[in-house]
Amino acid sequence: MPSPRVKRTATSFSTNNNGRIEFMSLLTNRTSASETPTVRHRASDSPVHRKDSFSSSTSSQQQQLPEEDCMKLNPSFFGIALRSLLAVDLWLSKKLGVCAREGSSWGSARPMMKLIEISGHGIPWIAGTIYYLYTSDSYAVREVILNLLFALLLDIILVGVVKGIVKRRRPTQNRMDMFATFSVDKYSFPSGHATRAAMVSRFVLNHLVLAVPVRLLVILWAVVVCLSRVMLGRHNVTDVLFGYFMGHMQYSIVEYFWLSPNALPSLFKM
């Protein structure tokens, strides 16, 4: 018969052994259950995981960019050339604006340039044309002056329409002290003085009999008016070049729609 002490010890050992096994299993389960979310949380907060998630989201956003945004990121050769041309235009216009202010390098010549500006303004030309239209006694002269008036009015309309569509601001060095300006004159493209100078000079050279020195003066006047627009800082170089080309095209329109005395008989009977 075994001694009660030994039996008690065995029972105690068995109980302790079972309890230890159960305790270790619970401890293992709890440890595994508590470590799993910790590991997951650390993995989600790790810099590598964040970098991978950021790169994947960035790549997905780049794949979903619209086509026009891709074109902005990868501009075409035409876009680069246009921007380069505009940059050169602004730089050259600022360099040539030597009369833009009184303190400019040629600021003393500013009053003379403003007189040239008035000589190419539309109001003096229209007023003088209307005056000679009603005071002239020659039937042929009235016909020529009538078409010159038509050309001047066409110039104002077309230049105003193009300026309203393009809406290009005047150069930063410009000072708005021009003679008799309108709301559309706050825009720069194209130069109305350049269109008028080119059109009027071509009209006069083709429809008036002038001596050679006078013809040279007419050509010189048109060139000086165009140059004065850049020197005064009123326009950029491209505004004047396009305006000069546009003036020649306007003259072609006037020649195509030439007004004869028979078209307005009541006006010629005055």
- Looking at the annotation, which residues are catalytic? 193, 235
Phi, psi of 169 (to 5 degrees): -70, 155
For 228, the token pair is 């004065």
For 168, the token pair is 């290009």
Q: Rounded distance, CA 2 to CA 22, Å?
A: 29
